[in-house]
Copies of this chain bind each other. A is one copy, B any other.
Amino acid sequence: MDADARERWLEHSKAVLRGAGLRTSAGRTAVVDMLGRQSCLVTAQDIADRLRDEGSPGSTATIYRALETLHELGLVRRFDSGEGVARYEPVDPSGDHHHHVVLEDSGDVVPFADAELERAIEGLGERLGMRVTGHDVILRARRA
């Protein structure tokens, strides 16, 4: 997500939260604003650290509660890399999406998008005889 998309995400999210009857409270707002600035994957701990650094409110409890809410509303995506920590990232409201490659050397996670892969996944529902509502692809790779 580029700066524009992030801005759109922020507006969209605020609207959805308001629409859900939730209040514009300090803690959750700080979390949402923070996510609106980060398009890459962040852990709850990352968010906690950043908020503390900039003097924003947001206890651990609040951060987890906010992330849970955002996830339920489809505003963030939870990504379980398998190292025991959950990572989150904003969901582009335009529907664009990407997947992740875990680099075996560094452990870094980098996003990627691939049209052919999406095409293959699109056809899956019909081939399997079910309505596919979501998908995740995780690659493990090392630099060629």
Contacts and interface: CB of A to CB of B under 8 A. Distances in A.
A134 B128 CA distance: 23
A101 interface: yes
A138 B141 contact: no
A104 interface: yes
Contact of A131 (B120, B125, B144): B144
A20 interface: no
Contacts of A129: 144
A124 interface: yes
Q: How large is the interface on A (under 10, 10 to 19, 20 to 34, 35 or more residues)?
A: 35 or more
Nearest to A117: B120
Interface string A40-72: 000000000000000000000000000000000
Nearest to A120: B120
A136 interface: yes
28 contacts: A78-B82, A80-B80, A80-B82, A82-B86, A101-B128, A101-B132, A114-B120, A114-B124, A114-B127, A114-B128, A116-B120, A117-B124, A119-B120, A120-B120, A124-B139, A125-B144, A129-B144, A130-B141, A130-B143, A131-B141, A131-B142, A131-B144, A132-B139, A132-B141, A133-B141, A134-B141, A136-B136, A136-B137
